[in-house]
Amino acid sequence: MRPAACDHPRMPALTDPTPVSRETPPDPPPWFRVHLFACTNRRPDGHRRGSCAARGGEGLRDYLKARAKELGIPGIRVNSAGCLDRCEFGPVVVIYPEGVWYRAETREDVDEILTVHLQGGGRVPRLMLTERHLPPAG
Amino acid sequence: MRPAACDHPRMPALTDPTPVSRETPPDPPPWFRVHLFACTNRRPDGHRRGSCAARGGEGLRDYLKARAKELGIPGIRVNSAGCLDRCEFGPVVVIYPEGVWYRAETREDVDEILTVHLQGGGRVPRLMLTERHLPPAG
């Protein structure tokens, strides 16, 4: 027979006396504060989608790297990436962890992204890709 | 003479009658739900840091792409990246927006990352790089 609930009025609530944590530990801290990927994919000339390299992506990636270093932006890593699949709007870059995309066509564009977004924590709406930047149908 | 504060007891608090929003609009929704970058950087044989390509990074990137497609993981993009600078622990991949890094040395490692992390939303601690994975001094 089970004892009535009132048999042990001072008994604590049922808890595991030696709890084993089953929680997933938190993710490690970000390795890079800012991780920027510049598309440098090259398609053959005349491809209907074009490509970031054909639009100058490699030179802009080089400039980005050099300027980021020059400005001393802390915790930043600039990497080349393969095709980011937003070719029509290239040369494109994407900045993580925030996942903000930009079209950077000129050195002035790169400078604006570096100073306004990466140094100032703002955004550059005139260069930003949004959900309305869709690849053409077909 | 400035009027006393009690001269206009019903005067509302000073607010701009025609406020112009100066707030930054929210960032666009993520273009990819999961953006995975696999390092495929290659250094010359014998380089003291080694490189992800020398450790099989390219083949693993290909396998990752193919398996992600096969499993039908929605909203994923797998890209190659240039040197992610954690060479000693390669072949490395990093998954954004969460910024979690893994060392994926075998196809089984790739499968575990795909099923546990990307499909299940979990983590694979045995393969995860943490803040303790530091490049050797010098």
Low-confidence stretches of chain A (pLDDT < 70) are: 1-23, 138
User: Model pTM?
Assistant: 0.84
Question: pLDDT tens for residues B76-133?
Answer: 999 999 999 999 999 999 999 999 999 999 999 999 999 999 999 999 999 999 999 9
| pLDDT tens digits, B28-48 | 999 999 999 999 999 999 999
3-state percent helix, strand, coil for chain B, nearest multiple of 5 = 25, 15, 60
A80 touches chain B (CB under 8 A): yes
Give A6 to chain B, closest Cα distance, Å.
43
The pLDDT value given to residue A135: 84
pLDDT on residue B7:
44
- Cβ pair B96:A125 closer than 8 A: no
Q: Residue B16 pLDDT more than 80?
A: no
Nearest to B23 by CA among A92, A79, A122: A122
B98 SS3 class: coil
Question: Touching check for B33 and chain A: CB below 8 Å?
Answer: no
pLDDT confidence tier of residue B21, bands split at 50, 70 and 90? low
Place of tokens 């005139």: A126
Residue A81 has its nearest CB partner, among B31, B79, B131, at: B79
What ipTM was predicted for this assembly?
0.83
Give the per-residue pLDDT at B24: 73
Give the Cβ contact number of residue B95 at 10 Å.
Answer: 19
Q: Which residue has the higher pLDDT, B59 or A14?
A: B59
Of A28, A27, A82, A7, nearest in space to A52 by CA: A82
The beta-carbon neighbor of B97 closest among A84, A96, A125 is: A96
For residue A130, list chain B residues with Cβ-Cβ distance below 8 A. Answer: 28
Q: How far is residue A135's CA from residue A137's CA, in Å, rounded to a whole number? A: 6
